[in-house]
Amino acid sequence: MKHIQMFFVAICLVFSSPISSLAQSKDKKEAKAESKKDKGPKPVKFEVEGQYKDTFERLATWLKKADYTIDKGDLEIGQIATTMFDVKGGLMSMNRTGTRVLISFIKESDTMTTVAVSVVEQKQPKFPPGSVGETKIHQKKTDELAAKIKADILPSVSSN
C-alpha cells in the first residue's frame, strides 16, 4: 500500500511540474505580447475646447483645405477617414498599398472633445473587392500631421 501511495505521489509530481512550467511560460508570453502592444505606434491624442460638432466640422474643413478627400465622415460615430493617397500598385495590381488619415472624436463633455489622429498605411487586396488588408500606423507621419492640425486650427490644445 505504501508503494502505491509513493507511486501516486511521484506521478503527481511528474505531471504537475510540466503543467506549472507551461502555465508560467504562457504567462511570460502574454506579458511579452502586452509589452510589445504598449511600445507600438499609436494615434496622437489631444483635447480640444469647444463643442463636439464644431470640432468635427473644423477638422473636416481643415482636411478639405489641405487637399485631402474625405471618404467617410460620420458625426454620430465620431470618425473621419480620407481616401487612400500615395497609392503603390495600380488598379490591375493584386495588392495596392496606400496611406489614409483617420481621425476619431470622443465627446468628453459639452465643452471638451478628445481628438485622435492616425496616418495609416493600408494594404488593399484586389480580391474580394472592397476588402481591407493589413493596416498599420505610420508614427512619424501621424506625429507630423497632428502637429500641423494643432498649429493651424487648434490654438488652445492640451496633449494627453
C-alpha cell, 22: 507551461
Alpha-carbon torsion (37, 78, 48, 147), positive or negative: positive
Cβ–Cβ under 8 Å, residues 111 and 101:
no
pLDDT tens for the chain, 160 residues long, are 555 665 555 565 556 555 555 456 667 667 666 655 567 899 999 999 989 999 999 999 999 999 999 999 999 999 999 998 888 876 666 677 889 999 999 999 999 999 999 999 988 776 666 667 788 999 999 999 999 999 987 664 455 5
